[in-house]
Amino acid sequence: MAKFSDIKGFAFDLDGVIADTARFHGEAWRQTADEVGTTWTPELAEGLKGISRMASLQMILDAGGHAEDFSQAAKEALAEKKNHNYQQLISTLTEADILPGMKAFIESIKAVGYTMSVASASKNAPMILDHLGLTNYFVGIVDPATLKHGKPNPEIFVRAADLLNLNPAHVIGLEDSAAGITSINGAGETSLAIGQADVLSDADLNFASTAEITLVNIEAKMT
């Protein structure tokens, strides 16, 4: 693991790290699972975190043994419907939906002079950051439409370090998903996980909730 004094920037996942939107993705995918006849389980819900829209749909179809039941056009229609339902759920997001402690953490990073970028698999990320009033804190947002591979591939966190103009060794990546932690580790960044330590055991640093994330607490875990 890097030393805290080596750190110069932060690459943030969005859903489940900055905003409490992971539950809205879950709610919308649960409707899709019901529609296609796949049983919704906590394990399926957890495994979908950080996974791109079409790959998530495929996981839901596979979980119910329905991989062969839908044409490509029918799959695209299901994904479109899920996104419509999801956008309805997030349409009322405001600054109050920033996860506990994250606004203060982002402000403290800015005050110290570190840079920040966003590494979200979500095509809705720019709109969500706008709703939350956070867009201007970040030097850039990786556009997931330009990626060859989604999480757990390292590509998105490598690109997030590029946006910061930093070697990944100088970056901490923050994630709430197992796929995202694998992506950060593969990119050569320090991985900071938010959530259950047993599910996210590959992370360099584990925090149970966003409320505990401060520069002081990160430094303490890195020394």
Is 13 a binding residue for Mg ion by CB under 5 A? The answer is yes
Minimum distance, C-beta of residue 148 to ligand B16, in the bound complex (Å):
16
Strand partners, 207: 194
**CB contact set of 192 (below 8 Å; sequence gap of 6+):** 172, 173, 174, 175, 203, 204, 205, 206, 207, 213, 218
3-class state of residue 35 by DSSP: helix
Which among 6, 15, 198, 202 is annotated as catalytic?
15
Per-residue contact flags (x/-) with Mg ion for residues 23 to 62, judged by CB under 5 A = ---------------------------x------------
In the residue annotation, 204 being an active-site residue is answered as: no
Nearest Cα neighbor of 165 from 219, 215, 116, 111 is: 116
Strand partners, 171: 9
Is 16 a binding residue for Mg ion by CB under 5 A? The answer is yes
Nearer to Mg ion, 33 or 48 (CB): 48
Q: Which does 179 bind (CB under 5 to 8 A by kind): Mg ion, ligand B16, none?
A: none
Nearer to ligand B16, 56 or 210 (CB): 56
| Residues tagged active-site | 13, 15
